[in-house]
Chain A
Amino acid sequence: MSDILVAEGVGKKFGGFVALKEVSVRFARDKLAAIIGPNGAGKSTFFNVISGAFPASSGRVSFEGHDITGLPPHEYARRGIAKSFQITNVFPQLSAHENVRVAAQMQKTRYNLWTPRAAIRELIEEADQLLERVGIAGKRHAVARDLAHGEQRCLEIAMALACKPRLLLLDEPTAGMSPEETVKMMDLIVWLAAERTVILVEHKMKLVMGICQQLVVLHHGELLAQGTPDDIRANDEVRRVYLGQGKH
């Protein structure tokens, strides 16, 4: 089992609208993969189905050989799948440090009603290290709501990492970021992918071409192509529907 996540015939309907048709993809372990496609291609739908945000209408998703289709969201996290959302999703009134600390806490204790949080040093230190790693250690005490957009995205990644995931799912991690922030984020992602599987959804194909090992191209809710960046570059259909639009 070298494939960490396998989607088989995954489809999603919203009422009568078919957002996703029979998509089957195998994601290899410890690789950096990207799901790309033009607007409305079904990228986010596919992402939400494989991350358990909403149930698939058909097909199944398995993680490390186990069927995870339809499991409650917290089960995904407990099995080692962490995600960062497209819309920034943090605990707005808690400090940056507490955001990460509480995410890390899950790995250690859930229903401890007794020990003071301040006494569990290792979680506090772990949160500090993660904030350092994503580059917002200086904002340790800042309330998450008051952070800049890029900082909130970094905070989210620190929270996702605190879950110690074997698979990290990122939905458009650079959306709304300045060019400098985008470069920093891409560096961070490459670093993250060195130690675990990362699957990200990206609108801008150019960003991921150089760093990904696997690309999945969706179009009109269907799988158009998948393979290495070189395969995709050479694929005529992809050129036609995607690259053709994006010429400079």
Chain B
Amino acid sequence: MMSFSKEQKIIEIGDLKLGGQPGELPTALFGTVFYGKKYREPDAEAMEGVREFIRRQNELGEMTGNPSVIDIYLGDEENMASRIDLVLEEIPEKQPFSIDIPESEIRQTALKHASEIGISNRIILNSFNLAAEPEELEVLREHPPGCAILLGYNPKDFSVDGRIDMIESGAGYIEKGLMEFADEFGIKNILLDTGATPFDHNAAETLRSIPVMKNKWGLPTGCAIHNTVESWLWMKKYRKEHKAEYLTCDAGANALPVMLGADFCVYGPIRNAGTVFPFVAMIDKFVAEGAEDYFGVAQPENHPRRKLE
């Protein structure tokens, strides 16, 4: 539906291709595994459930053409290696995966581990952000992942400019911009996450930042807008009795960034893949048709526009 005068880069990590002009490539969808109390302990039944979720998301990716990215949530160090191993067992050798690790120390351990077992090039770091401590910066320099998502979350300024400032200068939190650090570390593939914020905390600027960042850097851009829905106070009560309606909002929110040019969505728990993949595939069809009709942007055969006629 829109086209940028700035060249839009397409990046390739293994068999994952994303970026380009809106409508050119399908939206990549990141579904998160191991998030939630259920996965705190390595319970065999829960782990088998995770394997099934991974297979299901990959099947949906094949069916729709929307690239499937398994996003591994790691909240503790003890289970880190076994959880990465589980995902590696389930996905094809060329498929990259992302690691979502809130704590800096565990991120460092995971980056070193990935380097030791020779899979750094398959890692998408989700994310490189303002909370990176000096030790983490050193680890990133020594063991750069194949791809990093730079997070625009800026606690003191949720405006578009504040989010850009985080990536461009570090916004006073760290000595340089995330982009400059990533470049120094030799991270070859960069994705931009605009940093979802809750309602009443400039939530819409999460979305506005997408075309602005794409226009500025020409890099694949997206966000985890489901977090805004999840933190919606009214919905927290309503969803207790209206789960289906909540899931509609949760999946439906992904239409917003995609309509504004997003190249990927981090859509939340992987158990929602069955709803999210067909939904985003439909949005991709609209966007792609508009892109070809008006801007002459053609799509590859594996695009939902071609696969889901």
Q: Do A and B bind each other?
A: no
- List residues of chain A with CB under 8 Å of any chain B CB: none
